[in-house]
Amino acid sequence: MTQTLKTPETSQANRNRRTALVRAFTEPKGFGDATLRNPRPDAIELLGGIPDPGLLPTAELSEAAVRVLARPGAPALQYGRTRGWPELLSWISEREDVPVEQLLITNGGFHGLNLAVSLVVERGDPVAVDNPVFPLFLRGLEISDARVVPIGVDSKGLDVDHLEEILRAGQRISAVYTVPDFHNPSQGSLSQQRRRKLVELAEEHDFHVIADNPYREINFTGAPVDVSAFNGSDRVIHVNTFTKTLGPGLRLGWIRLPEELAADAIALRSRQDSHTSLLVQAIVAEYLTSDPGAFDRQLARANQVYAGRARTLVDALDRELPGFFDLQVPEGGFFLWPRLQDDSIDADALAASASRHGVEYQRGSFFPSGPGTDSDRRLRLSYSNVGEDRLDLAARQLAGAVAALRAQ
Ligand SMILES: Cc1ncc(COP(=O)(O)O)c(C=O)c1O
């Protein structure tokens, strides 16, 4: 067997052959890059927006997998249609009350976002985005070399009045990116009045709204999110995923978009990866349809636990560090976004002290898409994958970290 030796010259030559696209990628700044962290082995990780594996329907999915693979001819191991596995499409179509012609199954939410951007954003176009923002969206935008136009987000979601002001002042955009439900990182939801106004602006100023909905089903309010304002508009591209409800490792989601854009999305997809894994689609469809109430029961169980954890974390922080944070009890999603009230506390020094005391979280400074936010005075604490005892302990350790800083 011949072996190719990698000399310093060949790796330099490879570097020189990198495309302009790859050369322009920015360096990771920590978020989404676990290798940059060095936590204590016993650290309590309040880091990622990940579901608790104990709340995922693992037994049901494995039984579904056995049934799917036992089907004559094993169709789930063959090629399939680009749009998706018919049973999964019909389930989504019925649940979301949307024609199958407006759907495309994706490899999860991030993939759906990338497809949406490729469909409606010309290279170099301006795109208005949440500020603070889900940082991986900005990373994805690098592929389109899009120009970021940051728009503030408050407890009622995207500041649509500010968006209107800059549009009236002549700013052109080809899309708005926002997380309307239980925002990552800032935990609020877009008000109905703002949803309606955003759709009106999209029609008037000819842009699309990319609505990133991973947390819509992680809802503690007892009432479903009212999606009517967005559902009625052909300006909105809905990006959904099973990541938070059935597990990120599935890499399974869907986008909903106007019929002509859906046809473009299929044409694009058929030039990329053909379709999402049929095996994954078929297993999930079998789980969703073989016992029609199973998914909602599963969600209800999980949401009860997540809501309890959110409450526990808020109560523990109030008890251990009274008045230290300005915070709101989450109504859904996986995150608490508390703001430091004490200006003498340096947020980076606090994160470092917390790490030494065994608590890891994302610093708020990872999340701005532009100037003008108070994100660098905030922490993003994820409670989804940590039990209540450990959340209590995390608050105590955080209080220890604050005391250590004050004693310096
Ligand atoms: C706001 C937001 N959008 C998209 C995603 C990506 O979802 P997926 O894992 O399905 O690609 C996440 C996951 O953390 C998220 O928080």
Model pLDDT, residue 106: 98
Model pLDDT, residue 6: 59
Model pLDDT, residue 243: 98
Report the separation in Å between the CA atom of 187 and the middle of ligand 1, taken as the mean of its atom positions. 14
Q: What percent of the chain stands above pLDDT 90?
A: 88
> What number is the average pLDDT over the span 93-115?
97
* Residues contacting residue 51 through CB under 8 Å, at least 6 positions apart: 243, 244, 245, 247, 248, 302, 384, 385
- Mean pLDDT check: name the lowest of 28-32, 76-80, 171-175: 28-32
Model pLDDT, residue 397: 98
- Cβ(335) to ligand 1 under 6 A? no
Query: What 8-state DSSP symbol labels residue 214?
Result: T
pLDDT higher than 50, residue 34: no
Model pLDDT, residue 28: 65
Determine the atom of ligand 1 nearest the C-alpha atom of 184: 1
> What number is the average pLDDT over the span 146-158?
96
> What number is the average pLDDT over the span 338-346?
96
Model pLDDT, residue 29: 64
User: Whole-number mean pLDDT of the chain?
Assistant: 94
pLDDT higher than 80, residue 30: no
pLDDT digits (tens, 9 = 90+) for 210-261: 999 999 999 999 999 998 899 889 999 999 999 999 999 999 999 999 999 9
Question: Do residues 315 and 392 touch, judged by C-beta distance below 8 A?
Answer: no
Ranges of H-type helices in 130-258:
135-141, 160-168, 192-205, 228-231, 243-246
Model pLDDT, residue 114: 97
- Cβ(180) to ligand 1 under 6 A? no
Task: Identify the residue whose tokens are 């019925």.
Answer: 94
Instruction: For ligand 1, pick from 106, 212, 218, 250 the residue to mutate: most ligand atoms within 8 Å of CB.
Output: 212
Model pLDDT, residue 22: 86
Phi, psi of 152 (to 5 degrees): -60, 155
pLDDT digits (tens, 9 = 90+) for 369-399: 999 999 999 999 999 999 999 999 999 999 9
pLDDT digits (tens, 9 = 90+) for 171-197: 999 999 999 999 999 999 999 999 999
With residue 393 as reference, give the H or E element that holds it: helix 388-407
Model pLDDT, residue 223: 93
Model pLDDT, residue 124: 93
Whether the link from the prior residue into 371 is cis, omega within 30° of 0, is no
* Residues contacting residue 206 through CB under 8 Å, at least 6 positions apart: none
Ranges of H-type helices in 209-343:
228-231, 243-246, 259-269, 278-290, 294-320
Q: Hey, whose CA ends up nearest to atom 13 of ligand 1? A: 49
Report the separation in Å between the CA atom of 109 and the middle of ligand 1, taken as the mean of its atom positions. 5
With residue 62 as reference, give the H or E element that holds it: helix 58-69
Determine the atom of ligand 1 nearest the C-alpha atom of 113: 4
> What's the CA angle centered on 351, arms 348 and 354, to 5 degrees?
150
What is the dihedral angle through the alpha carbons of 239, 243, 246, 252, rounded to the nearest 10 degrees? 60
> What number is the average pLDDT over the span 299-323?
98
Model pLDDT, residue 35: 44
pLDDT higher than 50, residue 1: no
Query: What 8-state DSSP symbol labels residue 310?
Result: H
pLDDT higher than 50, residue 2: no
> What number is the average pLDDT over the span 36-60?
91
- The pTM (predicted TM-score) of the whole model is 0.94
Question: Do residues 31 and 371 touch, judged by C-beta distance below 8 A?
Answer: no
Handedness of CA 26, 32, 35, 36 (dihedral sign): positive
Report the separation in Å between the CA atom of 183 and the middle of ligand 1, taken as the mean of its atom positions. 11
Report how far residue 320's alpha carbon sits from residue 392's, in angstroms, rounded to the nearest whole number.
9
Determine the atom of ligand 1 nearest the C-alpha atom of 252: 10
- Mean pLDDT check: name the lowest of 38-47, 300-309, 323-332, 350-359: 38-47
Report the separation in Å between the CA atom of 388 and the middle of ligand 1, taken as the mean of its atom positions. 24
